[in-house]
Amino acid sequence: MKVSIIVFSPSGHTLKAANIFREKFIKKGVSAQLINITKNPNYLNEGSIKKQLEKDLDAHDVILIGGPIYAGHMEAHVLRLIRQFPNVGGKFGALAVPFATYGGVHSSVALEEMGTLLKKRKRKSILGVKIAAEHTLTKTASKTIYKDRPASDEANIIAKAVDEIITSASQDAGDIKDISKAFCYSKPVERVMFKLFSQEAIHKKFKHVSIDSGKCIQCKKCISVCPVNMFDFVDGQVNICKDRRQCILCAECYHHCPASAIVHPYIEPAKVRLKDGNAYVEKVPSAIYSRGE
Ligand SMILES: Cc1cc2nc3c(=O)[nH]c(=O)nc-3n(C[C@H](O)[C@H](O)[C@H](O)COP(=O)(O)O)c2cc1C
């Protein structure tokens, strides 16, 4: 059996989960390819995704696709990537497993929307996994939600998921069902709310991250950490080189800037929204969704 794992991970937690998946598969004798699309311009520009995928993707029976949950939705680059998945057939199998990391607060419709798109690309979801991870917007808050996760609890969930994937995928093809309905686990009100409010609509008014040029020391750290390559260095100066609407608000630039020169309009509102008493973590931090559970 062969699997391909594709991951987008602005702050590294989904990548950590993807690597755990890979290790667990390899331990079980399953060959597992990992493609990390973070920072890769060919995967960030819509026009080149298809070609790059065809070039990079090895033959597989199961494709795993993972990313972070932003504003209750799967991060948009991941959804865009699924839309460009190559046709099933030949070396590309029809089975899929979406996985999502989140800061514990809203996993909402993320797996559901991945399952729907996978189905459109003729993939059968055999299970889905939500994985608790450090809430990156609370990194500098008085209390960091799920600090240092994914950790051992999540690794155990991933190990269980790997066992289930191997068992499911070894059935006769005709017996394997798409179980993406199991991803519609959020309360109906929440599902309707997140369907009405897209990630773009929720984040739009905050998308004006900027550099305080008086504070910037031109260390270029922001250039190296930005997962969507928003910064460049021209004429001795770090600049924002893309349309600001392409910023995903991950705050990697803000967290890594040694000179506090990044102005990130979402951090303070997020800290208020996420502080104790204003936000509650989901009852089950990490879970496998399969067979209508
Ligand atoms: C802009 C933004 C929005 C987020 N929205 C949510 C959310 O709605 N619910 C949640 O539980 N976590 C949310 N998070 C936390 C991330 O889902 C979590 O930290 C994730 O593991 C980050 O993955 P990465 O390290 O692979 O980038 C958000 C983080 C950012 C930066």
Domain ranges of the chain: 2-191+281-289, 209-264
Residue among 38, 69, 77, 114 to mutate when testing ligand 1 (max atoms within 8 A of CB): 69
* 38-92 confidence digits (pLDDT tens): 999 999 999 999 999 999 999 999 999 999 999 999 999 999 999 999 999 999 9
| pLDDT tops 90 at residue 291 | no
Q: Confirm if 258 and 154 have CB atoms less than 8 A apart.
A: no
pTM for the complete prediction?
Answer: 0.97
Instruction: Tell me the pairing of strands 31-36 and 2-7.
Output: parallel
Q: Confirm if 76 and 86 have CB atoms less than 8 A apart.
A: no
* 133-178 confidence digits (pLDDT tens): 999 999 998 889 999 999 999 999 999 999 999 999 999 988 899 9
Question: In angstroms, what is the span from residue 69 Cα to ligand 1's centroid?
Answer: 5
Q: For domain 2-191+281-289, give the CATH superfamily.
A: Flavodoxin domain (3.40.50.360)
Nearest atom in ligand 1 to 281's CA? 11
Domain 209-264 has CATH 3.30.70.20: yes
Q: What is the pLDDT of residue 40?
A: 98
Q: What is the pLDDT of residue 57?
A: 98
Residue 160 phi, psi (nearest 5): -65, -40
Q: What is the pLDDT of residue 293?
A: 44
For the Cβ of 98 lying below 6 angstroms from any atom of ligand 1, the answer is no
